Chains A and B, each alone.
Chain A
Amino acid sequence: MPDGRPFGSLGWALVTVALIGAGYTLVRFAFGIGAIANINNAYPWGWWVGFGVLSFIAFGGCGFTIALLVDIFGLHRFQPFVRPAITMGLLLYLGYVVILMIELGRPWMGWIIFFSWSPTSALFEVAWCATLYTTVLMIEFGKVAANHHQWRRVARLLGVIYLPAVVVGVSLSHIHQSSLGTLLTIIPLKIDPRWWSEILPFTFLLTAYMAGLSLVTIEHVLVTRWLRLTPRVELLGSLARIQVWLIAIYLVLRVGDLLYRGATDGLFRFEWLTMSLWAELVLGFLVPLALFAIPDLRSRMWPLFATSCLLALGVLLTRLNTAVFGVEVRHFESYVPSLGEFATTSGVLAGIVLVYGFLVQRLPIHSEEPLAGAADPQPVATSRVSESYS
């Protein structure tokens, strides 16, 4: 690598994971989905949809959440998070498209969704909005790349359409993030009543905000450490204050809904799914709420990082509980995710991390100052950021 960090053992590990995923993908296209996946006619979605679609999109929500704060609400102090959020959002949405290509039974017919009109289908809604939003993310990311490479004409064009694109993108995101919840409302008989609810569209939107802000925090800590930059701990603390409100509203909605629907049967029975519910509610949301609410912890980087990780796992777990673990179809088949399902989604995830690691070294995505006293500051693209910001 000409400039940037050496390609370490973590990099090679990621390459290996990506290649294993690619290998499984070849088998899938040669012999069919059943050759690598355990999904079946009673459980037709499983891990691919629960993790690869619902969770990727939730975390891809970092782009619209930060755009909402900065460009719509005018909280410009969060400007340093815009570029990382847009780049990660774009990569996660592209990763979701890759998983769709693996997961759809007839991906070669995918184009037809844009030439049909099925407004009664939540999936139609999601497909259109997600595609349009991915285009918006490309415009937003394209502006970063065009500015950096001094493609003046492109940069000027993208500069003009940037703000309208952001407004459209943030609106689209609200629609499709909530439509992912709507997607599951048609199967009340197959999802455990502790997770099926008519308010799924609202809870999915709220958890997408939380996933996005958590991912931004996690990325900021890891990348500033990796590239030896000065982390903006104070700003991360501000994000945590927003998270406190989001989690509080979410928990009131979620627990209120459970009580209102009377879906509290067997909450103290000793069984796996019940424990998963408690893990989700207490470890995934209540504990992060408590930790984020303590001002002292909010001013320190590692507590912020750990709490964000916990909240991210909480969002992940609630989506998996809703779409994978909590699904029970009284039929002949049963379902446990297969190695192939894990390998393909992990492969795509590894690819995303690799590409992000590459981009973050070559484009002015991070604008932080090099860490004072760093013995050997790495010559990365960040040095050029200060110019473009002045």
Chain B
Amino acid sequence: MAQKAMIQDNTRCIGCRACMIACKEWNDLGADETDFFAGDGYQNPRDLDANNYTLITYSEKPEEAEWVFGRLLCMHCVEPACVSACPTGALSKSDLGSVDLNKWRCIGCRYCVQACPFVVPKFDFGTPLPEIHKCTFCADRLAADLAPACATVCPTHAIDFGDRDEMLAEAKRRIADAPGSYVPHVYGEEEVGGTNVFHLSSVPFEKLGYEMGLPKEPLPNLTHKILRFVPSVFFTLLSVFGVMAWIVRRRMTRMGIAEDH
């Protein structure tokens, strides 16, 4: 099955937040009690949480008194750090491209929260029965051959959904067709080895508060290149230490030293 992907074209976003509402409806999420906060971004609520799997961010262009929008959601990395980090297999990457979470298997270690370069998974710190919360890519809708809820409601076609190859080509086509309207960068094409959500923007992505300076190499490689030696190192140590201990014990017995530990 072809991997699916989404385009988030921030140049087309008008900040109506229909995507957020569609997400809440489909995933049956409640409302937050919020406060206004000052700082980078004027969105409300401030960040993703248990009730908001996606969020439109509001940032002001410094000199022009004009709003630019961005969107937070799980990037559904091609090689997700969270999936690689999860010790219980509660997180997995599906054939369709979604990063799936089986909440029941979760032990609440928060390694996924720690590992995610986009700071997406959210843990409940305020309840004795916590869970991890994050965008599902509407995997249940994907299974029924439907697009994710957010992609179906966007009134300005800022969100597109389709096969990953086509979406990537489409994103590049838009930049090529209107070079003045876009910064020449498909965010998500190469970040941490590529993602299944591509972002486009008219202003540099750091102005939207996106995570910058991400390596092109998938993050799981960093641990894999160490962990893959573990079995062979373990059995090497076991045999070397075993032989040494045996020699030591035999020498002791020969010398007639009573063994006692």
Chain A residues in contact with chain B, CB under 8 A? 28-35, 37, 39-42, 44-45, 68, 70-74, 76, 79, 82-83, 104-107, 109-110, 112-113, 116-125, 127, 140, 143-144, 147, 162-164, 166-168, 170-172, 174-175, 179, 182-183, 185-190, 198, 201, 329-332, 388-389
A and B contact pairs by CB, cutoff 8 A, 11 listed: A32-B124, A68-B241, A72-B245, A73-B244, A74-B252, A107-B108, A116-B87, A117-B89, A120-B83, A120-B227, A163-B249
Say whether B29 faces chain A, with CB atoms less than 8 Å apart: no
- Give the docked Cα–Cα distance between A106 and B83 (Å): 18
Q: CB-CB < 8 A to A163: which residues of B?
A: 245, 249
Is the beta-carbon distance between B252 and A171 smaller than 8 angstroms? no
Is the beta-carbon distance between A188 and B215 smaller than 8 angstroms? yes
In the assembled complex, the CB of A179 is this many whole angstroms from the nearest CB of chain B, namely 7
Q: CB-CB < 8 A to B180: which residues of A?
A: none
In the assembled complex, the CB of A180 is this many whole angstroms from the nearest CB of chain B, namely 12
Minimal Cβ-Cβ distance residue in B for A327: B114
- Give the docked Cα–Cα distance between A257 and B180 (Å): 44
Most chain A CB neighbours (cut-off 10 Å) among B104, B241, B249, B257:
B241
Say whether B237 faces chain A, with CB atoms less than 8 Å apart: yes
Minimal Cβ-Cβ distance residue in A for B226: A182
Asked whether A41 and B87 contact (CB < 8 A) given A185-B223, A190-B114, the answer is no
Please count how many residues in chain B sit with their CB below 8 Å of the partner chain's CB atoms.
63
Q: CB-CB < 8 A to B124: which residues of A?
A: 32, 105
Q: CB-CB < 8 A to A35: which residues of B?
A: 126
Is the beta-carbon distance between B238 and A167 smaller than 8 angstroms? yes
Is the beta-carbon distance between B88 and A112 smaller than 8 angstroms? yes
Say whether B36 faces chain A, with CB atoms less than 8 Å apart: no
Partner of B214, one of A29, A33, A71, A189: A189
Say whether B101 faces chain A, with CB atoms less than 8 Å apart: no
Is the beta-carbon distance between B88 and A116 smaller than 8 angstroms? yes
- Give the docked Cα–Cα distance between A82 and B259 (Å): 13
- Give the docked Cα–Cα distance between A125 and B230 (Å): 9
In the assembled complex, the CB of A266 is this many whole angstroms from the nearest CB of chain B, namely 17
- Give the docked Cα–Cα distance between A112 and B90 (Å): 10
Asked whether A162 and B261 contact (CB < 8 A) given A72-B244, A118-B87, A185-B226, the answer is yes
Say whether B242 faces chain A, with CB atoms less than 8 Å apart: yes
Is the beta-carbon distance between B223 and A332 smaller than 8 angstroms? no
The A-contacting residues of B in range 210-239, CB under 8 angstroms, are 211, 213-215, 219-220, 222-224, 226-227, 230, 233-234, 237-238
Is the beta-carbon distance between A188 and B119 smaller than 8 angstroms? no
Asked whether A121 and B107 contact (CB < 8 A) given A31-B128, A82-B261, the answer is no
Q: CB-CB < 8 A to A186: which residues of B?
A: 81, 84-85, 115, 219-220, 222-223
Say whether B127 faces chain A, with CB atoms less than 8 Å apart: yes
Q: CB-CB < 8 A to B129: which residues of A?
A: 106
Is the beta-carbon distance between A168 and B238 smaller than 8 angstroms? yes
Q: CB-CB < 8 A to B260: which residues of A?
A: 147, 388-389
Minimal Cβ-Cβ distance residue in B for A117: B89
Is the beta-carbon distance between A118 and B89 smaller than 8 angstroms? yes
In the assembled complex, the CB of B78 is this many whole angstroms from the nearest CB of chain A, namely 15
Apart from A41-B119, A41-B122, A109-B108, what 16 extra A-B contacts exist at CB < 8 Å?
A: A45-B110, A45-B114, A72-B244, A72-B248, A82-B261, A105-B123, A105-B130, A106-B131, A113-B87, A162-B261, A167-B241, A172-B234, A185-B222, A186-B219, A188-B219, A389-B260
Q: CB-CB < 8 A to B220: which residues of A?
A: 120, 186
Is the beta-carbon distance between A74 and B85 smaller than 8 angstroms? no
Most chain B CB neighbours (cut-off 10 Å) among A28, A109, A331:
A109
Is the beta-carbon distance between B123 and A182 smaller than 8 angstroms? no
Minimal Cβ-Cβ distance residue in B for A201: B226
In the assembled complex, the CB of A131 is this many whole angstroms from the nearest CB of chain B, namely 12
In the assembled complex, the CB of B151 is this many whole angstroms from the nearest CB of chain A, namely 26
Minimal Cβ-Cβ distance residue in A for B103: A106
Q: CB-CB < 8 A to A332: which residues of B?
A: 39, 46-47
Minimal Cβ-Cβ distance residue in B for A128: B87
Is the beta-carbon distance between A123 and B227 smaller than 8 angstroms? no
Asked whether A123 and B127 contact (CB < 8 A) given A82-B261, A185-B222, A186-B222, the answer is no
Asked whether A83 and B261 contact (CB < 8 A) given A44-B123, A120-B220, the answer is yes
Is the beta-carbon distance between A198 and B114 smaller than 8 angstroms? no
Is the beta-carbon distance between A39 and B125 smaller than 8 angstroms? yes
- Give the docked Cα–Cα distance between A190 and B117 (Å): 8
- Give the docked Cα–Cα distance between A125 and B106 (Å): 17
Most chain A CB neighbours (cut-off 10 Å) among B47, B119, B122, B213:
B119
Minimal Cβ-Cβ distance residue in B for A181: B226
In the assembled complex, the CB of B61 is this many whole angstroms from the nearest CB of chain A, namely 20
Partner of A171, one of B110, B227, B241: B241
Q: CB-CB < 8 A to B105: which residues of A?
A: 109, 112, 116
Say whether B73 faces chain A, with CB atoms less than 8 Å apart: no
Is the beta-carbon distance between A120 and B125 smaller than 8 angstroms? no
- Give the docked Cα–Cα distance between A118 and B223 (Å): 13
Asked whether A118 and B119 contact (CB < 8 A) given A72-B241, A123-B109, A189-B214, the answer is no
Asked whether A109 and B106 contact (CB < 8 A) given A41-B119, A121-B84, A166-B245, the answer is yes
- Give the docked Cα–Cα distance between A73 and B251 (Å): 12
Minimal Cβ-Cβ distance residue in B for A105: B108
Say whether B111 faces chain A, with CB atoms less than 8 Å apart: yes
Is the beta-carbon distance between A109 and B107 smaller than 8 angstroms? yes
Most chain B CB neighbours (cut-off 10 Å) among A34, A125, A127, A186:
A186
In the assembled complex, the CB of A215 is this many whole angstroms from the nearest CB of chain B, namely 19
Is the beta-carbon distance between A182 and B89 smaller than 8 angstroms? no
In the assembled complex, the CB of B2 is this many whole angstroms from the nearest CB of chain A, namely 24
Is the beta-carbon distance between A41 and B261 smaller than 8 angstroms? no
Say whether B135 faces chain A, with CB atoms less than 8 Å apart: no
In the assembled complex, the CB of B49 is this many whole angstroms from the nearest CB of chain A, namely 8
Q: CB-CB < 8 A to B111: which residues of A?
A: 121, 123, 183
Is the beta-carbon distance between B237 and A44 smaller than 8 angstroms? no
Say whether B150 faces chain A, with CB atoms less than 8 Å apart: no
Q: CB-CB < 8 A to B208: which residues of A?
A: none
